[in-house]
Structure 1
């Protein structure tokens, strides 16, 4: 439990604990509030950032972290309050205004333009021009390559962004933010799509920036990252400022209790449930040029993990099983019967559900409301009678799903793009749970999800397994894979390298197989 001392004040539920003394602040926020229709996102909050430091910002989804950072980055205007930069009040009316004051932000949802090159994305509106006022593409490439050399990033500046992996797109976003040479750099979940190797690379970049006197605001749900790179942290809960402490003064449990206002006794609530008959059988599955010779059985009630580094082919296997990119060879059997799955619609008819890893690109319908996003997978199934949609039971079940997953939203008619990234993820999980699947494929199900919501989602999926649902779980978070799965299938560069039983699974063993 958190113990208060004279230099370590006890966290409170909504007050304003004093900010610890220290060097002059690079950035300060005083009494900022922000409301949206039906939601108070920030309520009289404070924050400060010292030069040459990393300040982690923590809280559950919907706590107000991203909203505050978007205010600092000029995306939103505060309803009240003051922002000071180097001790002077500033008005940040737009992202361009924030950049002019030396504030850059890497957003949780990637904002790159897929049909433009990497170099064009990084230097858009800042391109080097030739004598005739046209873009000098040679100089553009050289400038980008020099930036990548400085950051040790191995990406072709002339590659189109749409051809990059999610992890490489994240590195491009990071390079773009660094290219502004800003004094304040805000990173919103920058490691959500990165492997351990890439995370270490990012931490080296952050170390360089800190040594140059830059201030880094780091939003994360990963406790290990906080203790590895953050000098101090602030916690927000339900739009209120809870407290600020040096990261060396607290434990992981202290922070979690501050975030959620309660103790979480078990993050990975793995329960022993009866493992039934084989539901899904895969033999020699392949997509030409992507992966090959993947074989496994998945049983009712079982959690089968699919592990591997980014680019190993694990997500491609999931897409082939769901018919997004149909397999070019191999066999799929469901309940012992051979099936050909060449479309998601056919996969759903066979009882499969698939949560994709990229909620923005292939998950959410951002301009539609929560009801539309939830109902899209079930409109042709149990809620249709005599060719008419049964609106009352549909709305009832969708509303119940929001309550079950504790989605923070005013109601079913709220536009999903107005929700935090974590709450968007919960809605997508709810969409597939409404289909009552027999085989549930989850690709990065807790990416961008806070610790409290992770535990709730893990408990929910564990209950489904106890009811006989077979779960294929893909995750970059090793503790999640080790904590939840009965067996773990490991891949490397498009091929299987082994299947490890739960009793034999360790992080070292999995990484050995993932890097063969």
Structure 2
């Protein structure tokens, strides 16, 4: 095949840190190429060099469609047909679908906007992608998956020849992932090269033709996806083997902590009955719209049910607010840590102490600096959070460390029940392993854990028992040790 992009000897240093060391990369026309590595492996720096945001050190070569560039700028990169869709999508949420897709056609110069032309460009591009939405809809009204399709349309409208997708499936359900994979296959057939960056290794192997692995800023190698599996890939990324066994608990000693009977909420879920025991990790899985998150919010007091009962330690309770749930020892880690789990612009210290301010308060309700520092130091040490300075904004941390900050915030409340909604979304394989160990430790300490995930291997290998939810009802309740990935997938998709 013809090469679209060739890079050789690419290095980049930030101060005394080598972000990239003599990296080579070749991307072919109409190829789906995955780029993998742990956080800090150099993936983001390499993408920034391709898109012209950063310049490589002297000696590196960049050749695009046969023409050599000593370095790129964002303008040159875009002119060459390179488009990047970052994890945050970089859309204007207050503008319409049409405006977001076709805006690039009307940047620069002084002229009036030709709205009919903009709409024609947007509608034509949406037809290629298969988006069925009113073009005048504001982007803020779309789902995450819908916004991602708009971002792809914007790239195609800019005549993309190379489309780099950074963590495109991090916030998508399996059904939405399937739709995205089909779209990537369509882009490939039209001659567009797609670089797919993801921590979900099964998806990488499903979609890619070739995979390039980075570790500590160096290229480990480029491999045919058909020649490796997720175990081999994780070892190449980390130098460590990750092997998980199904969990077999001794539930005879675990008392029922939370019991739900006939719980229902109109339009969300109905007739849900379940038990969570001390020391048990219960996985909950299901497709988009199955009612998983709505149920979790009810258990946390943020989505009060219309009917049914809840009991904690055998005593009936009514949760009308999240404050009610917290007082009774129920904690909730949201799927969307960036919006709902953390205050990104505030310090690590502020985020970790947010749930226990009253406990830390001393005389006259004042919180001493020493008390705050001691509290944060304890949880940073216990959860192995990599923090250079607790006063730094939490947004400066990696995804895995951000998730540990969210866990620390809630673990500090000493919960009886911990609800985790997609706890490993958007974090790399080593960080995932660390989070799984934290969950296992909490279970050993007697916490009842409800872990929600649409990744079948995650609930199968990191839960003692698995619940399947479909169309607002629980349809299966099985011991993880007694089922398989195929059986769970069939139960989810039945």
- TM-score category by the smaller chain? 0.7 to 0.9
SS at match of 2:289: coil
Does 1:170 pair with 2:148? yes
Match of 2:93 in 1: 114
Partner of residue 408 from structure 2, selected from 418, 430, 433: 430
Give the CA deviation at 1:233: 1.8
How is 1:498-513 mapped onto 2 (pairs within 5 angstroms)?
498-513=476-491
Give the CA deviation at 1:408: 4.4
Aligned mates of 1:461, 1:271 — CA distance in 2: 15
Contact 1:35–1:79 (Cα < 8 Å) also in 2? no
Contact 1:58–1:233 (Cα < 8 Å) also in 2? yes
Aligned mates of 1:226, 1:152 — CA distance in 2: 23
Match of 2:302 in 1: 324
Does 1:182 pair with 2:160? yes
Give the CA deviation at 1:82: 4.3
Give the CA deviation at 1:141: 5.1
Aligned mates of 2:83, 2:436 — CA distance in 1: 35
Aligned mates of 2:241, 2:396 — CA distance in 1: 29
Give the CA deviation at 1:147: 2.6
Aligned mates of 1:262, 1:392 — CA distance in 2: 38
Farther-moved stretch of structure 1 (360-369 vs 114-123): 114-123
Aligned mates of 2:370, 2:346 — CA distance in 1: 19
Match of 1:28 in 2: 7
Contact 2:32–2:193 (Cα < 8 Å) also in 1? yes
Does 1:133 pair with 2:112? yes
Aligned mates of 2:76, 2:69 — CA distance in 1: 14
Partner of residue 265 from structure 2, selected from 254, 272, 287: 287
Farther-moved stretch of structure 1 (297-306 vs 163-172): 163-172
Match of 2:198 in 1: 220
Match of 1:272 in 2: 249
Does 1:385 pair with 2:362? yes
CA RMSD of aligned residues (A): 3.0
How is 1:107-506 mapped onto 2 (pairs within 5 angstroms)?
107-126=86-105, 133-134=112-113, 136=115, 140=118, 143-266=121-244, 270=247, 272-274=249-251, 276-381=254-359, 383-386=360-363, 387-506=365-484
Contact 2:456–2:489 (Cα < 8 Å) also in 1? no
Match of 1:102 in 2: 81
Aligned mates of 2:17, 2:396 — CA distance in 1: 10
Give the CA deviation at 1:135: 5.7
Aligned mates of 2:286, 2:472 — CA distance in 1: 10
Give the CA deviation at 1:254: 2.8
Give the CA deviation at 1:512: 4.3
Give the CA deviation at 1:218: 1.3
Aligned mates of 1:242, 1:68 — CA distance in 2: 14
Change over 3 Å in CA distance of 1:58–1:479 after alignment to 2: same
> Any stretches of 5+ residues in structure 2 without a counterpart?
none
Change over 3 Å in CA distance of 1:282–1:232 after alignment to 2: same
Q: TM-score, normalised by structure 2?
A: 0.87
- Superposed CA deviations along residues 334-369 of structure 1, whole A, max 9, x for unmatched, are 222222323222222111211111122222322223
Aligned mates of 2:209, 2:56 — CA distance in 1: 27
Change over 3 Å in CA distance of 1:515–1:177 after alignment to 2: same
Contact 1:30–1:47 (Cα < 8 Å) also in 2? no
Give the CA deviation at 1:205: 2.1
Contact 1:184–1:217 (Cα < 8 Å) also in 2? yes
SS at match of 2:128: helix
Change over 3 Å in CA distance of 1:410–1:23 after alignment to 2: farther
Give the CA deviation at 1:281: 1.7
Change over 3 Å in CA distance of 1:513–1:146 after alignment to 2: farther
Contact 2:41–2:217 (Cα < 8 Å) also in 1? yes
Aligned mates of 2:192, 2:393 — CA distance in 1: 36
Aligned mates of 1:78, 1:286 — CA distance in 2: 57
Match of 2:68 in 1: 88
- Superposed CA deviations along residues 208-236 of structure 1, whole A, max 9, x for unmatched, are 22233322211112222232222222222
SS at match of 1:473: strand
Equivalenced residue count is 487
Aligned mates of 2:153, 2:356 — CA distance in 1: 41
Contact 2:283–2:459 (Cα < 8 Å) also in 1? yes
Aligned mates of 1:366, 1:277 — CA distance in 2: 38
Contact 2:87–2:166 (Cα < 8 Å) also in 1? yes
Q: TM-score, normalised by structure 1?
A: 0.84
